[in-house]
Structure 1
Amino acid sequence: MQIRLQKIIADSGLCSRRKAEELIESGKVKLNGKVVTRLGTKAEETDKIEVNGVLVTQPSKKITIALFKPEGYITSKSDPHHSQTIMDLLPKELSYLKPAGRLDKDSEGLLILSSDGELIQRLTHPSAGHTKTYMVRVKGFPKPQNLAPLSSGKLKLDGYLLNPMEFHILSVKDGKTWIRLRLTEGRNRQIRKVLDSLGYPVIYLKRTEIGKLQLGNMKKGEYKELSEKDISLCFKT
């Protein structure tokens, strides 16, 4: 079956469909060795497609999985410093999957990987606005008024005005406090940075939900394939 070039490129996870269209129009795409600039051009699964000289891999089936990322693994396909990556947790036949977003090395929890480039774009685009829920343990005994800046919509991180964050103080024990946080964005180490700026360093962070998709009873390092119904939960609040 023939499929439009821009869709094939987007589905590979290389870029968004709009960016793929720009690449085609600017002469950066080759189909079976010939430069293509017409957006309506279609290709078969067996055709050779190159973008800026890089061969585009066409996965035969769209697969999306949920992974329980443990601490100590970086969210990357590879690492020049030879750190453990999330790909070390998956079988080789799933090595073509790409992460939709990230969790830093010191954090654990729910992470989505997919061969569906458009889905990855939907999940990671700044305008997506879907919620992500975290269980966070901090040093100290914050009161609601101490954490009020989180939900104010006036807090800045690296010069960027953050969206309001929803928080609930759950329990206090041994000089540490458990907090549930819900965000609609995910800037680099956002939770750690803002809580540290308020005087409550994070000592444990776990993502438990993306939208209404829950980590549930998955074990660390475990993954499972997601159905269309599962995927739709990511966009519910």
Structure 2
Amino acid sequence: MSQKKAPPARKPASPVRAKRRPGQQSRPGGAAKSPRPEATHSDKGEHRVAKLLARAGVASRREVERMIAEGRIARDGEVIGTPATLLKSLHGVTVDGNPVNEPAPARLFRYHKPAGLLTTERDPRGRPTIYDKLPADLPRVMPVGRLDLNTEGLLLLTTDGGLKRQMELPSTGVERTYRARAYGEVSQAQLEDLIEGIEIEGIRYGRIDANLERRTGRNQWIELTLTEGKNREVRRVLEHLGLKVSRLIRTRYGPFILEDLPAGGVEEVRQHDLVVFRKGLK
């Protein structure tokens, strides 16, 4: 019987799980599953190859998984067959036969995305994407979050897949601010109710801090700050209030501001500012 008391020895893994979960795996069922590879193997300095390659700026995790499925990634000459392969480093790893360098320090860029561009690497329908317009001398970058085709404004681009994921997770609470020009009637009281969140067609949208900036006739500018950034969240919430959005601009993502960056312009965030920001991320 004393040997069956071994489970308590595994309890140190529990704090690791608590950090990783959003809040729904504290039940016994979740605990039973939880000695997961990520928890135990990361303690040994091992990580999934897809995560390491994304962190090294090769491509997003999803794109890396596609490259692995295509047999384009190998280690010491042997093709890697699954993105779950655990490695301590990228030593000996190649993409299309080319060695992959260990991750350089993360870089972050502010980009003023114009309306009419997709936030994707390629589009099956041949529509223009941000990658068609970015400067040729920019390193390989990934967008932090997305802006839909008709939304303009601040889009952050990074060379580091880990930073991208960190900034996108709702659990980190990184705020995004938008300015929307909308047609219709809405009161400040209605906008203030959004602070409690709202459910639309079965989808729950979290806290939104919304303020009416100015009104001209039935047109108004509204500023909205949120932390989730679900697909088309701002448009759907305002349409639910009976408004028609004619222009949507993201002006801020975390401490990084669009300011007077011209449409199509790209500017690198100072390394010092990025380091300070990352220290505050949990």
Report TM bin, short chain: 0.7 to 0.9
2:117 matches 1:70: no
Pick from 31, 48, 52 the counterpart of residue 93 of structure 2.
48
2:270 corresponds to: 227
Contact residue 113 and residue 130 of structure 2 kept, 8 A: yes
Pick from 199, 202, 222 the counterpart of residue 179 of structure 1.
222
TM-superposed CA distance for 1:132, in Å, is 0.4
Aligned positions, number: 221
TM-superposed CA distance for 1:163, in Å, is 1.0
> Rg larger in 1 or in 2?
2
Comparing 201-210 and 123-132, the one that deviates more: 123-132
Deviant stretches of 4+, over 6 Å: 35-38, 53-56
TM-superposed CA distance for 1:170, in Å, is 0.8
AA aligned opposite 2:93: K
1:14 corresponds to: 60
2:180 corresponds to: 136
**How do residues 197-212 of structure 1 correspond to structure 2 at under 5 angstroms?**
197-212=240-255
- Tell me, in whole angstroms, the C-alpha distance in 1 between the residues paired with 2:255 and 2:124: 35
* Alignment RMSD (CA, Å): 3.3
2:36 corresponds to: none
Contact residue 157 and residue 190 of structure 1 kept, 8 A: no
> In the superposition, relative to structure 1, how do residues 209 and 54 fare at CA in structure 2: closer, same or farther (>3 Å)?
farther
Identity score, percent:
29
TM-superposed CA distance for 1:59, in Å, is 7.7
Pick from 192, 199, 202 the counterpart of residue 156 of structure 1.
199
- Tell me, in whole angstroms, the C-alpha distance in 1 between the residues paired with 2:99 and 2:120: 19
2:207 matches 1:169: no
- Tell me, in whole angstroms, the C-alpha distance in 2 between the residues paired with 1:230 and 1:208: 18
Query: Which SS does the other structure have where 1:43 is aligned?
Result: coil
Pick from 167, 170, 183 the counterpart of residue 126 of structure 1.
170
Query: Which SS does the other structure have where 1:94 is aligned?
Result: coil
State the TM-score, normalized to the length of structure 1: 0.79
Q: Which has the higher contact order (CA 8 A, sep 6+)?
A: 1
State the TM-score, normalized to the length of structure 2: 0.68
TM-superposed CA distance for 1:84, in Å, is 1.3
**How do residues 186-197 of structure 1 correspond to structure 2 at under 5 angstroms?**
186-197=229-240
**How do residues 79-98 of structure 1 correspond to structure 2 at under 5 angstroms?**
79-94=123-138, 96-98=140-142
AA aligned opposite 1:196: E
Query: Which SS does the other structure have where 2:145 is aligned?
Result: coil
Q: Which runs of 5+ in 1 are unaligned?
A: 24-28
Contact residue 208 and residue 214 of structure 1 kept, 8 A: yes
- Tell me, in whole angstroms, the C-alpha distance in 1 between the residues paired with 2:221 and 2:52: 44
TM-superposed CA distance for 1:139, in Å, is 0.5
- Tell me, in whole angstroms, the C-alpha distance in 1 between the residues paired with 2:221 and 2:53: 43
